[in-house]
Structure 1
């Protein structure tokens, strides 16, 4: 800890002390540190595991674009760590969705969607800059834009299905190859990577994004799917009230059509979002299904939190209607019948902020 504080203070040009652990992950530690001037900064120090090194490079390069997120105060690639300004203790989008104020939740969702859309629209000319910055902080790992994670997930799904008692439907490998193009070059824009509700601060100055460990350029459809599913790869997943997913999706779409006018065409937009939903559903399946022997909550400490089986069932139900990809949709129906059919889990509930029973002090329905 002493070495981290000393290195962070040197790159930020301030003396740091009294670190407070804000959590982090297996890849990094996040500390709030006081400065000699009476202020505070955030230090994010990474381990030297391969995925942590990729996360460091993405965080340092993504924040260096200065398109969104906290101000980058310094980088030490030898530790490695980054130092950022402290955005304070503003509520996250997760906080308001799990709270008891429906207006705050709607306002937060719309701020999130519009903020991500504006970020995407304002970033399209910065791709070469991100590539240059990645090289500057490179730790020998492929960027997320180069990492073939979608193709790897597709191969894993083909292996996982027989292990789950499901024969691979004819045509599925070919459809997965076509589905995999959703994350590529079509309508690319910058994203911090993990735009889940707990990585979005609702400050008095508007939406501020944190966590750039997956920063890359990818298709805007991959973020649009977060609006519709909702929150494709996250733990804070419940059901939105009727019409609200469409409203936040349109808020995001309105921003990105300013830079990509073709996205105003419904046929183009909806086909792209459906394809991205398929990509994220494969991702959820290969990540979570092998871990469902014990139906654990998706988050180790936050409550309420859905279970893995609840989220997978919800994802498979949505994906089973993707008739653009008949073999894939059939695969989802088989998973529902042969896997989820034996789970006996309750349906995914709604977000607490929109639940009258929660607001009235009763138990969640």
Structure 2
């Protein structure tokens, strides 16, 4: 649940309003790669996101900077102005790339914030989902060379899993609905999918784009 609330008393740099987000209790892993700890970790470490102002872990509530009532990238894409849509999409890709965290110390802090269960969940879906997706494409398309292509894709996934030197913390779900076009630039919201993974996953997301939408 997300609400905009007026600030009646608080630090001056909070501004006149904040955004309060509450996560409803649910077992870990019930929603793949989503949750309270991911959002908090993303807000603490990723660039181009709202400032994290306060948290209550027991209630699973967080308070963040209010970016204002600006359009999202999705709003821009649905308009008739193709040139503006393209320009903002290119900007979005740059913001997505700039948001990831590769610094060793910051990455270790992010791992501690996520905890062992979520890190294990990350590793599992990074192997399982690409393989299932490729197998499904082969099944639906009925490609003559589908089995060979699927095997090649699975090999790439395995290579990424073993390439531990290019791990980053990324937002996970940078859909157009989660990208606010503010006067100061595009800002990324809804970081429930933030996690540690190979940089190639975020690069592929920008190139596709919008595979989680």
Aligned to 1:191: 170
Number of corresponding residues: 201
Normalising by structure 2, what TM-score?
0.77
Q: 1:91 aligns with which of 71, 80, 83?
A: 71
Counterpart Cα distance in 1 of 2:20 and 2:159: 34
* Separation (CA, whole Å) in 2 of partners of 1:210 and 1:182: 30
SS of aligned partner of 1:142: helix
The aligned residue for residue 26 of structure 2 is 49
Rounded to whole Å, the distance in 2 between the matches of 1:158 and 1:115 is 28
Q: TM-score, normalised by structure 1?
A: 0.48
Corresponding residue to 2:209 among 206, 223, 230: 230
Specify the alignment match of 1:32 in structure 2.
4
Structure with bigger gyration radius: 1
C-alpha change, 1:229 and 1:82, in structure 2 (3 Å) is same
Correspondence for 2:196: 217
2:131 pairs with 1:152: no
User: What CA deviation, in whole Å up to 9, does each residue of 1:232-260 have, x standing for no partner?
Assistant: 222xxxxxxxxxxxxxxxxxxxxxxxxxx
Q: Residue 179 of structure 1: which of 156, 161, 164 is its match?
A: 156
CA distance in 2, matches of 1:55, 1:131: 15
Correspondent of 1:124 among 88, 97, 103:
103
> For the Cα contact (< 8 Å) 2:96–2:206, is it kept in 1?
no
Return the offset for 1:161: 8.1
Q: Any unmatched runs of 5+ in structure 2?
A: 10-14
Q: Which residue of 2 aligns with 1:67?
A: 47
Q: Where in structure 1 are there 5+ consecutive unaligned residues?
A: 1-28, 235-365
- Per chain length, whose mean CA-contact separation is higher, i.e. which structure has more relative contact order (CA < 8 Å, sep 6+)? 2
- Contact residue 32 and residue 42 of structure 1 kept, 8 A: yes
Note if 1:208 corresponds to 2:187: yes
1:82 partner SS: strand
